Amino acid sequence: MVNYEFWFVVGSQLLYGEEVLKTVAERAEEMAQHLSKKLPFPVKYKVTAKSSDEINEVIKEANYRDECAGIITWCHTFSPSKMWINGLAALQKPWCHFATQYNREIPNEEIDMDFMNLNQAAHGDREHGFIGARLRSARKIIAGYWQDEDVQERLASWMKAAAGVAFSKNMRVMRFGDNMRDVAVTEGDKVEAQKKFGWQVNTWATGDLVREMSLVTEAEIDALMDEYKASYDIATDNIDAIRYQAKEEIAMEKMLKREKCMAFSNTFQDLYGMEQLPGLASQHLMSKGYGYGGEGDWKVSALTSVMKFMGKDSNGASAFMEDYTYHLVPGSEYSLGAHMLEVCPSLAEGKPRIETHHLGIGMNEKDPARLVFEGKAGSAIVVSLIDMGGRFRLIIQDIECVKPIMEMPNLPVARVMWKAMPDLRTGLECWICAGGAHHTVLSYDVTAEQMTDWARMMDIECVHITKDTTVEALERDLLVNDLVWKLK
Ligand code: MN
């Protein structure tokens, strides 16, 4: 895993003389060191840029260095923007324009023209902002004082989204079998996905997995069983079914590691040579950060892994989800999300139980073991990535997860219950209007702003359904988007 960092590039020019430039460089270093202590990734001060050549050099290096996940620019003084054009036009990494100022206050007694010439971010950042607008650059603009916590939180949030871009560029997805027959929304252009997101999506035969399973040893299964026992309550006598899931998990993880894949998909229609659809196996792999998509849905699988990475070191709760059924009682309207088996235990409130039940769908010879639990309460988002033909659209919806309002004792799968924004009916109409899938990534961790930032950096369409969204406004936005993306 690459240890990502962000480069701090400070704009200036030669007009001010040595003394001012020395002060700018010292302060930039001080700010980078301070921010590094507060932010999830180090900020490395690289250069006080005074010429086109210096800017070209630092941007060429940023593009080339794997550890550089993005650049943060700021203009302590005035930095004429024509010297930024060639560099910024070549920039291939995420860019944040940090509009800040070294000093918090205007010093009443001290301020004179020398002070003004040294501390003119208000002036310099506007010139710098113009060239970003003129170049139509996909930049993030964050304004505020660099020592303020809320400003640092916004920088941290953007950094995680930018790291998600870097992670995405290395994403490889292992598909066992093709998509579920006849399903449209899980399809997509894999060539375009690689061009936009960097995702390498390829297929492996189920037979390859079955052969790999035949090589798994009893000792390997015993070791994973110990891990299951430590993490979950075993609520079945059918230990053989759990051991079979362990064998599936070990075989899949070996193949994923061998091929450097961080996400996988499979389908219940293609289990030839296997006794059970991987349930517990897929769930435990997801808890380790692997993305998963059911029914061959490689888009949601890759996106799950990217969002898990973006939330790394926070609560980490991002998971493959499916809208299943509604509770349409007036005043108590909820969506119930689940999947046939595969819900990630990172969403669980309390300790998940391992259960075995009959599964009628697919070619299951034996009852598959799976984790059963209730999802946590709290604010979250659901995100869907669809292929509109010629472009991808990311749809984000704000939701409020609740403790399930009933026990559902005969439901043999993990379940999450939520209120969609702005309300179930409007939210549903908006979601359907935008073409959002039944498969989503649900996250208590990654925010709508981060996913919007990610979509901007990836240069894809993005819509966000919030508590304020109306169907009329959304329809208008989608119509405009359609025109815009045809012109792009
Ligand atoms: Mn599904």
CA of 94 to the centre of ligand 1 (A): 33
Question: Residue 361: what pLDDT?
Answer: 81
CA of 437 to the centre of ligand 1 (A): 10
Percentage above 70 pLDDT, the chain: 99
CA of 339 to the centre of ligand 1 (A): 6
Q: Nearest-5° angle of CA 113, CA 116, CA 121?
A: 165
Average predicted confidence (pLDDT) for the chain = 96
The environment of the single-atom ion ligand 1, i.e. residues with CB closer than 5 A, is: 294-295, 322
Contact between residue 367 and residue 356 where contact means Cβ atoms under 8 Å apart = yes
Question: Residue 100: what pLDDT?
Answer: 98
Pairwise CA distance, residues 161 & 140, whole Å: 11
89 CA to centre of own chain: 26
CA of 469 to the centre of ligand 1 (A): 27
CA of 43 to the centre of ligand 1 (A): 41
CA of 374 to the centre of ligand 1 (A): 18
Q: Domains (ranges, CATH) in the chain?
A: 5-168 (3.40.50.10940), 172-487 (no CATH)
Task: Encode pLDDT of 13-35 as tens digits.
Answer: 999 899 999 999 999 999 999 99
CA of 322 to the centre of ligand 1 (A): 6
CA of 323 to the centre of ligand 1 (A): 9
Task: Assign 315 a pLDDT band (cuts: 50, 70, 90).
Answer: low
Q: What is the mean pLDDT of residues 155-174?
A: 97
CA of 297 to the centre of ligand 1 (A): 8
DSSP, collapsed to helix, strand or coil, labels residue 348 as strand
CA of 279 to the centre of ligand 1 (A): 13
CA of 448 to the centre of ligand 1 (A): 23
CA of 193 to the centre of ligand 1 (A): 21
Question: Residue 312: what pLDDT?
Answer: 82
Rg value, the chain, Cα: 25
Q: Is the pLDDT of residue 122 over 80?
A: yes
Tell which wins on pLDDT, 366 or 297.
Answer: 297
CA of 229 to the centre of ligand 1 (A): 28
Question: Residue 161: what pLDDT?
Answer: 97
CA neighbor of 441 nearest in space, from 288, 281, 308: 308
Name residue, tokens 């701090």: 8
Beta bridge partners of 326: 335
Asked if the peptide bond before residue 278 counts as cis, ω within 30 degrees of 0, the response is no
Pairwise CA distance, residues 435 & 317, whole Å: 25
Pairwise CA distance, residues 372 & 353, whole Å: 5
Pairwise CA distance, residues 109 & 142, whole Å: 30
CA of 25 to the centre of ligand 1 (A): 54
Question: Residue 364: what pLDDT?
Answer: 72
CA of 293 to the centre of ligand 1 (A): 8
Question: Residue 488: what pLDDT?
Answer: 84
Question: Residue 194: what pLDDT?
Answer: 98
Pairwise CA distance, residues 241 & 331, whole Å: 42
CA of 341 to the centre of ligand 1 (A): 9
CA of 186 to the centre of ligand 1 (A): 9
Name residue, tokens 């004179």: 112
292 CA to centre of own chain: 14
Backbone angles phi, psi at 63, to 5 degrees: -60, -35
CA of 343 to the centre of ligand 1 (A): 11
Task: Assign 316 a pLDDT band (cuts: 50, 70, 90).
Answer: low
Task: Encode pLDDT of 415-452 as tens digits.
Answer: 999 999 999 999 999 999 999 999 999 999 999 999 99
Task: Encode pLDDT of 86-120 as tens digits.
Answer: 999 999 999 999 999 999 999 999 999 999 999 99
pTM above 0.75, yes or no: yes
Q: Is the pLDDT of residue 366 over 90?
A: no
CA of 379 to the centre of ligand 1 (A): 23
Q: Is the pLDDT of residue 1 over 70?
A: no
CA of 13 to the centre of ligand 1 (A): 57
CA of 439 to the centre of ligand 1 (A): 6
CA of 276 to the centre of ligand 1 (A): 17
CA of 181 to the centre of ligand 1 (A): 12
CA of 463 to the centre of ligand 1 (A): 23
| Sheet containing 68-75, strands listed edge to edge, beginning at the edge strand earlier in sequence | 43-49, 5-11, 68-75, 95-99, 139-143
Beta bridge partners of 117: none
Task: Encode pLDDT of 341-364 as tens digits.
Answer: 999 999 999 999 999 999 988 767
CA of 311 to the centre of ligand 1 (A): 23
Q: What is the mean pLDDT of residues 459-477?
A: 98
Helices (H), 298-388: 298-310
Q: Is the pLDDT of residue 138 over 80?
A: yes
Contact between residue 250 and residue 285 where contact means Cβ atoms under 8 Å apart = no
Q: What is the mean pLDDT of residues 179-194?
A: 97
Q: Give the side-chain half-sphere CA count within 13 A for 290.
A: 27
CA neighbor of 390 nearest in space, from 191, 150, 226: 191
Task: Encode pLDDT of 249-271 as tens digits.
Answer: 999 999 999 999 999 999 999 99
CA of 298 to the centre of ligand 1 (A): 12
Q: What is the mean pLDDT of residues 295-324?
A: 92
Task: Encode pLDDT of 377-386 as tens digits.
Answer: 999 999 999 9
